[in-house]
Amino acid sequence: MSLLDCKLLRDLRALKTQALAVALVMACGLAMMITTRSLMLSLTAARDGYYRENRFAQVFARLKRAPNAVREQLAAIPGVAAVETGLALQVTLDVPGLAEPATGLFNSLPERGAPVLNRPYLRAGRLPEAQSGGALAELAVGEAFAEAHGLRPGDTISAVLNGRKQKFLLTGIVLSPEFIFEAPPGAALPDNKTYGVFWAPYKELATAFQLYGAFNSVALTLAPDVAEGAVLAAVDRLLAPYGGRGTYRRDNHPSDRRLTDELRVLKALAFAFPLVFLSVAAFMVNSVMARQVALQREQIAMLKACGFANAQVGAHYLKFALVIVAGGVVLGAAGGLFLGEKFVDLYHIFFRFPALTFQPDLPALGIAAAASALAALAGVAGAVQRAVRLPPAEAMRPEAPASYQPAWFERLRIARWLGPSARMALRNIRRRPARSALTCLALALATGILILPNAMRDGIAHVLDFQWDVVQRQTVTVMLAEPQAARVLADFQHLPGVVLAEPFRSVPVELRAGPQVRRLALQGLPARGTLNRVIDGHPAQLTLPERGLIISTKLAEVLQVQPGDTLMIRPLEGEARDLLVPLVGLADDFAGVAAYMEMGAVNRLLLEGDRVNGAHLTVAAGEWDAFVRALKDTPQIAGCYVKNSLREGFRTTTAESIGLLQKMYSAFAAIVAFGIIYNSARISLSERARELATLRVLGFTRGEVGAVLVGELVLLTLAALPIGLLVGSQLARTIVATVSTETVRLPLVLTPANYAFAIAVVATASTLSALLAARKIAGLDLASALKALD
Amino acid sequence: MQTSGRNVTANARPSEPLDRRDPVFHARGLAKIYGEGEAAVRALAGVDLDFFAGELVVLLGASGSGKSTLLNLLGGLDSPTAGTLCYRGRDLATADEAGLTRFRRDAVGFVFQAYNLIPSLTARENVALIGEIARDPMPPEDALALVGLGARLDHFPAQLSGGEQQRVAIARAIAKRPEVLLCDEPTGALDIRTGLTVLDAIERINRELGTLAVIITHNAVIADMAGRVFTLSDGRIVNVRENRTRAPVASLAW
């Protein structure tokens, strides 16, 4: 080791706390970036591998029923590479240990061989086989539902198939690329307690529903380089006579879409936040190094006088900065990998892969490290350059004393009341406007990054309250297997404990506005219902007009329409007839996108009489158990959603992920605030050691001198807090808008408690670090203040 | 202790008679050792002295003689390794950190060779700063007038000459009406002419306010303005000289 490197090490040891503070801030940014980038890489890699291995289809279609012969016709359409057909049917489940009925989506497995597309992945046990005679029918269950209920191969489960209750033996636990995100249709979050996916042999499922020899679900892959639109149109034409509800591509598949949304969120977080941290760290490196170079003026002069070249001296100080960067990179990489692993574990709740292994994004780490190093070097370059440019003889002399001026605000009348300590603080800020501004900005950013996670938490709480207290006031929603005449409502009303029943008619439609097209379920509701209500942004209940459509604000954004515009509705089932309807209002909702019409209008659109798909019910609390028992024995019900169970699922899953996020951001913000204040206080202490020692000699106590030292920082922190709240609110707005997708959507909710928390964290971290730095005042050499400057 | 006379110049002023009953500082066997073992340095090796109210004392000595160490002990910046040191009967040798701070705050005015003004405060504010901690401070304007700085009150240190800065420092030191003014090489960084204005200010404070002034210097000429001159060498007082008349500052030259 050269002696200069030896000096470097010893200098670093003297600066270890400051170097650590800088490295930690840098590490926060790097950790955040590595975590998010690695998660993106892990998710993408897991998804792509899974899709490839298990042959996830590219195009999907649902229909009423088509004979199996149509499969050959589908395969014959030019551009279609592979076809899989089967049955997908919703059933009501009776799960041991679960009071309310759960809903199951039963998928068929081909009679011979493995499915061509959307192959299930067997996690445990074996796939179910068709049974003959009196043997128990077999079923495989999706992993999320199995885990939620502790189901294992060998357990049994009851389901109502086409009105007949039947018992099944679970043979295996299965995953599928179609159900990486296993949630009820339209739900933003999984509810694994009351919704599950199952696989049954084709023969038994088809027989139970009297669909043998037919299929109602299609999956396709396309040949490379074909005109997708033409193929899809051909498929639609072919399936239309069989009740085809229109094809959709993979990017509209609920599971794939949810995954894509998650990747989008990660992408939004992977850039902005790390950038904030790395900029703050670069500023800190700059201030530490500038001070170090200033302190070592004479040493630099001596080195030059002895014949060291400018390049050697410059390299020495650049190395100094690089050692700090290296520390930050090591800490950041370790932190990022640790957090990444944690988040991968968390993702297991939302996304089911055969294997979601954490894959560190090492190139990203490399790029981030290089960027940090460059930023640090850029920060140091100026100071080093100033130092090496000085002729040795001049550098040997101490720097000229700092010159001060009164700050502009001292001309104000109020300034007369300022004591000398306050004036010192103000003038120090004024003398170094850039450094003061940057310190203030860094503290503002520390405050700001605390806003987002709490805004997300509050947004979720708002969604919970809004969606489930204001919009959906029912206790339970029951769905019929097939639309039925409206008089079925009377049956629901007679179920034990039912206080109120409101019907709904739901039908898959295609909404078209110019070139924009979306497929979704059109909800037909009573004009002004009391249970499932349509609420606008005020929030006030909207009345559904006899003619006209109300859609989610987000859907209007996607379709690029506003109230007054006309949309075309194409029903995707029944006697399809296109209809132009005016958009009459926008509804505020947060889960998925929806379109609402008055129920009678929907039935007129469908050219049907009064028919319903199900009903929203309120059930008296005391009679819930009786209601649930009766419900499980009501054959025409294909499924039900219990509000409180959805709500609970929402709360636990999001609470966990937001909780982790919140802890992470709070810790990072505290580190930045702590680091910035500590570093600033130490630099200030170093620059003003003589001044502060003088004050001590004059009889100021340690506490009073401490107040002089941190007074400047207190002012900067006070200035930073409101800026931070503004910046944080804006950052939260941007990120919430970025991550606001059609499947997941959060309102921006900013509460005083959120602001108070941010202020408290930054104030506490600042105070603690200021106290820590102020302890160094005890170490001031008072006698040295008496000595002349050398 | 020895005493000796010296030539008296034409317009010299006779020394005021000292009230020797009640010393401001009283030290016996005062010793200070820095470091331990082989690295130990004996900076002060047993000093006896009594300083009285209203006198002007010069501590004379070469670099390393122990005069700065003695001043540090008298000013409550450091504690002796051995011996007794009392200020007005209060034991300074065993006082704790807070006690020493209180002593400095209430009783001592310091003047430094390098002035040590707060660069971010104007002349007036540097003096007013003391008002924040003193019990009965002088108005800053009065303190500055005493050192002949009636004007330039609102200039920052960087805008003042060395002599002016040092006089601001003296005004700052006396603004709290201290009983003791300790001056460490107050003219060390100044040329003769400005040095004399500074010494004149110190002498005037001593005369008009009755403040015990202790000046340490290596400049023997300055000793002529003192009532008593203590010469230090190797950590001991090797000579004490009493000037029957104190030379006027204007007559000093080096």
Closest-CA residue of A relative to B188 is A788
Contacts of A398 in chain B (CB under 8 A): none
Q: How far is A417 from chain B (nearest CA, A)?
A: 13
Question: How many whole angstroms separate alpha carbon A380 and alpha carbon B157?
Answer: 31
- Identify the residue whose tokens are 């670093």: A12
Pair (A571, A464) in one structural domain: no
Average pLDDT of chain A is: 85
Which superfamily is assigned to B22-251 in CATH? Answer: P-loop containing nucleotide triphosphate hydrolases (3.40.50.300)
The nearest alpha carbon in chain B to A428 belongs to B120
* pLDDT tens string B42-68: 899 999 999 999 999 999 998 889 988
**Closest residue in B to A687 (Cα–Cα):** B119
Q: Cα–Cα distance between B138 and B136 in angstroms, integer? A: 7
- Yes or no, beta carbons of A789 and B114 under 8 Å apart: yes
A404 CB neighbours in chain B (<8 A) are: 119-121, 156, 158
Instruction: Single out the residue of A283, A285, A332 nearest to residue A441, CA to CA.
Output: A283
Same domain? A414 vs A452: no
- Measuring CA to CA, which residue among A492, A432, A419, A487 is closest to residue A700? A419
DSSP percent split of chain B into helix, strand, coil, nearest 5:
30, 25, 40
pLDDT in tens, A428-451: 888 888 888 888 988 898 888 888
CB contact under 8 A, A423 and B125: yes
Instruction: Tell me which residue in B72, B98, B189 faces A783 most closely, judged by beta carbons.
Output: B72
The answer to whether A692 faces chain B, any CB pair under 8 Å, is no
B113 reaches A (C-beta below 8 A)? yes
Would an 8 Å CB–CB cutoff place A700 in contact with chain B?
A: yes
Residue from B44, B59, B118, B177 to probe the interface with A (highest A Cβ count within 10 Å):
B118
Largest Cα separation within chain A, whole Å, is: 107
Classify residue A779: in a domain, yes or no: yes
The list of chain B residues with pLDDT below 50 reads 1-11
| Partner residue opposite A697 with nearest CB, options B104, B120, B121 | B104
Residues of B in contact with A696 (CB under 8 A): 101
**A556: in domain:** yes
How far is it, in rounded angstroms, from Cα B137 to Cα A449? Answer: 48
What pLDDT does residue A301 have?
75
CB within 8 Å: A788 and B113: yes
Tell me if A207 sits within 8 A of A87, measured CB to CB. Answer: no
On whether both A561 and A699 belong to a single domain, the answer is: no
Question: Does residue A422 carry a pLDDT above 50?
Answer: yes
Q: Are residues A609 and A659 in the same domain?
A: no
Shared-domain flag, residues A592 and A602:
yes
For chain A, what is the radius of gyration of the CA atoms?
A: 33
To the nearest whole angstrom, how far is the Cα of B208 from the nearest Cα of chain A? 22
- A690/A593 same-domain check: no
- Rounded Cα gap, residues A172 and A180, in angstroms: 17
Cα gap A149→A685, rounded to integer Å: 61
Report residue A131 as tokens. 């049974």
Is residue A278 over pLDDT 70? yes
Cβ contact A789–B68 (<8 Å): no
Query: pLDDT at position A773, please?
Result: 82
Q: Measured between CB atoms, does A213 come within 8 Å of chain B?
A: no
Length of chain B: 254
pLDDT digits (tens, 9 = 90+) for A589-621: 776 778 999 998 888 888 878 889 899 999 998
Residue A636 has pLDDT above 80, yes or no: no
Determine how β-strand B180-184 pairs with β-strand B108-111. parallel
Note whether B101 contacts A: Cβ–Cβ < 8 A.
yes
Question: Using CB atoms, which residue from A420, A702, A788 is nearest to B121?
Answer: A420
Tell me which residue in A423, A698, A702 faces B130 most closely, judged by beta carbons.
A698
Question: Across the interface, which of B72, B120, B159 has its CB nearest the CB of A424?
Answer: B120
Give me the pLDDT at residue A392, please: 66
A420: distance to nearest CA of chain B, Å? 6
pLDDT confidence of residue B56? 94
CB-closest option in A401, A698, A787 to B110? A698
Q: Do the domain assignments include residue A625?
A: no
What is the predicted pLDDT for the residue at B7?
Answer: 42
Nearest to A697 among B68, B77, B102 (CB): B77
- Tell me how far apart the alpha carbons of residues B174 and B202 are, in angstroms, rounded to a whole number: 10
Residues of B in contact with A400 (CB under 8 A): 158
In chain A, the residue whose alpha carbon lies closest to the alpha carbon of B100 is: A699
ipTM of the complex in this document: 0.77
Q: Nearest by CB to B119, which of A401, A782, A788?
A: A401
- Enter the tokens of residue A625: 């158990």
pLDDT band at A396 (very low <50, low <70, confident <90, very high): low
Are B112 and A701 inside 8 Å of each other by CB?
no
Domain residue limits, chain B: 22-251
Q: Which of A71-85, A345-359, A582-596, A642-656 has the lowest mean pLDDT?
A: A642-656
Rounded to an integer, the average pLDDT of A557-579 is: 84
Query: A521 and A438, same structural domain?
Result: no
Q: Which domain holds residue A677?
A: 433-472+644-790
Q: Which amino acid is residue A30, in one-letter code?
A: L
Picking from B77, B172, B188, the nearest residue to A783 by CB comes out as B77
> What is the spatial distance between Cα A296 and Cα A583, in angstroms, rounded to a whole number?
72
Query: Are B132 and A419 a contacting pair at CB < 8 A?
Result: yes
Predicted confidence band of residue A186 (pLDDT cuts 50, 70, 90) = low
CB pair distance less than 8 Å for A428 and B104: no
Token match 């037919």: residue? Answer: A214
> Looking at the complex, does the CB of residue A703 fall below 8 Å from at least one CB of chain B?
no
Whether A49 shows a pLDDT value over 90: the answer reads yes
> How many structural domains are present in chain A?
4
Q: Does A573 touch chain B (CB under 8 A)?
A: no
Q: How far is B105 from chain A (nearest CA, A)?
A: 4
Chain position carrying tokens 């499915």: A115
Residue count of chain A, please give it.
790
Least confident span in A302-306, A720-724, A729-733, A754-758: A302-306
A216 SS3 class = strand
Least confident of A92-101, A369-378, B184-193, B210-219: A92-101
Q: Rounded mean pLDDT of A732-758?
A: 83
Residues A450 and A527 in one domain: no
DSSP assignment string, A50-69: HHHHTT--SEEEEEEEEETT
Task: Say which residues have a Cβ less than 8 Å from residue A745's Cβ, sequence separation at least 6.
Answer: A188, A554, A589, A590, A591
Nearest-neighbour CA in chain B from A781: distance (Å): 9
Write out chain A residues lying below 8 Å of B101, CB-based: 696, 699-702
Query: Is A198 a residue whose pLDDT tops 90?
Result: yes
Nearest by CB to residue B116, choosing from A423, A694, A700, is A694
Q: Indicate the residue type of B4.
A: S
Joined together, the tokens standing for residue A684 give: 């200030």
Separation in Å, CA of A276 to nearest CA in chain B: 32
For chain A, percent of residues with pLDDT exceeding 90: 27
Cβ–Cβ below 8 Å for A403 and B119: yes
SS3 A590: coil
Q: Is A779 near chain B, with CB under 8 Å?
A: no
A291-295, A460-464, B26-30: which has the highest mean pLDDT?
B26-30
Residues A519 and A652 in one domain: no
Q: Do B121 and A700 touch (CB under 8 A)?
A: no
Q: Is A58 domain-assigned? A: no
Q: Best interface-test mutation with B: which of A416, A431, A697, A705 has the largest number of B CBs within 10 A?
A: A697
B181: nearest CA in chain A?
A: A698
Tokens of A421: 């300590």
What was the pLDDT predicted at A460?
A: 79
Tell me whether residues A402 and B119 touch, CB distance under 8 A. Answer: yes
Least confidently predicted of A21-25, A415-419, A517-521, A621-625: A415-419
Which residues of chain B neighbour A423 with C-beta distances below 8 Å?
120-121, 125
Burial-class residue A48 by CB neighbours within 10 Å (0-12, 13-18, 19+): exposed
- Tally A–B CB contacts below 8 A: 107
> Which candidate, A465, A467, A463, A485, places its Cα nearest to that of A477?
A467
Measured between CB atoms, does A338 come within 8 Å of chain B? no
Residue A700 and residue B101: Cβ atoms within 8 Å?
Answer: yes
Nearest chain B alpha carbon to A688: B118
Residues of B in contact with A711 (CB under 8 A): none
Among chain A residues, the shortest Cα distance to B187 is held by A788
Q: Is the pLDDT of residue A397 over 90?
A: no
| Cα-based distances in Å from A164 to A204, A205, A615, B161 | 13, 12, 21, 105
Query: Is residue A401 within 8 angstroms of chain B, CB to CB?
Result: yes
